[in-house]
Amino acid sequence: MKNLANEKEIVAIIFYTSGFFIIMAVILVLFFYFSRKKIIQKELEKKDLEIQYQKELLSAVIITQEEERKRIAQDLHDDISSKLNIVSLNSHLLSTPNLTNNEVIEITNTIINLTSKALDNSRKIAHGLLPPVLDKFGLHAGVEELCLDFSSSKAVKVNYENKTTFDIMDNDKHLHVFRILQELMNNSLRHGKASVISIVFEKKDTKDWCFYTDDGIGFEIKNHNNQKGLGMKNIESRVAFLKGEMVLETSINKGVSVVFNF
């Protein structure tokens, strides 16, 4: 009887021990299942956010391109086209009979002047699309000229320093850097009312870095409209295209600081 009782006790211990381990195993399986499910869900949410961000950047690029096309079309229509129309009218006037020498000279001078202005303006439009200095001599020369253009307006002083070298073979990518600085400087002048702008290029950890600051009025960075305006979206999309990172710091009456790599 005693042996039978011992056997039953051993069986009971084995049964409860097995039951305990089975329950623990089930709990562990469920824990890992739901943990994995939660991880997968977070990964999917992260991918959805990345996709949404990419869509926003793509949308910003498309909108920027359309705005640029409209601006170019407007410039061509309002300036070049109107001047060429007047040139055409004056050219037909030269075939008018009984013109005096003074009239011929006056019409000819008008044609020459308008043609010269149309050529100058067409060069400006072409310069806006692809700055010749950047195309021929690289990013450093392009930014140097950009800074001189802004400084020559006397509205703002631009301090520029370059501590690295740029490969002219990367001009396609560097054009985006040029456009970023162009956008930042326009914002500093038009919206920030800045009087001093500073631009510094440095090489760190195999990457080129740009440090941009101004002494303007700044803006409230928490304001969604300020962060997601067309200009900022354009800048963000270009930095993303360059596979870089950007940090923007600003506050009211504290100017703007932008650091990005490429």
Report d(CA 212, CA 255) in Å as an integer.
11
Task: Find out whether 236 and 60 touch, Cβ atoms under 8 Å.
Answer: yes
pLDDT in tens for each of the 262 residues of the chain?
555 566 667 766 777 777 777 888 788 887 777 778 788 888 877 887 777 777 776 666 666 666 777 777 777 777 788 888 888 888 988 888 888 889 899 999 999 998 988 887 777 776 666 788 898 999 999 999 999 989 988 889 999 999 999 999 999 899 999 999 999 998 999 888 999 999 999 999 889 999 999 999 988 877 655 555 557 878 888 898 898 999 999 988 889 999 999 9
Residue 173 corresponds to which amino acid?
K
Please, which residues bridge with residue 21 across strands?
Answer: none
Fold of 131-261: Heat Shock Protein 90 (3.30.565)
Per DSSP bridges, beta strands 157-162 and 196-204 are parallel
Provide DSSP, 208-250: EEEEEEE-S----TT-HHHHSSHHHHHHHHHHHHTT--EEEEE
Q: What is the DSSP letter of 164?
A: S
- Encoded tokens for 260: 């990005």
Longest CA–CA separation in the chain, Å: 145
Report d(CA 98, CA 60) in Å as an integer.
59
Residue 30 corresponds to which amino acid?
L
What does the pLDDT read at residue 185?
Answer: 94
What does the pLDDT read at residue 122?
Answer: 78
Task: Find out whether 159 and 197 touch, Cβ atoms under 8 Å.
Answer: yes
Global pTM value? 0.61
Report d(CA 110, CA 104) in Å as an integer.
10
User: What are the extents of the domains in the chain?
Assistant: 2-127, 131-261
Q: What is the DSSP letter of 110?
A: H
Provide DSSP, 37-86: HHHHHHHHHHHHHHHHHHHHHHHHHHHHHHHHHHHHHHHIIIIIIHHHHH
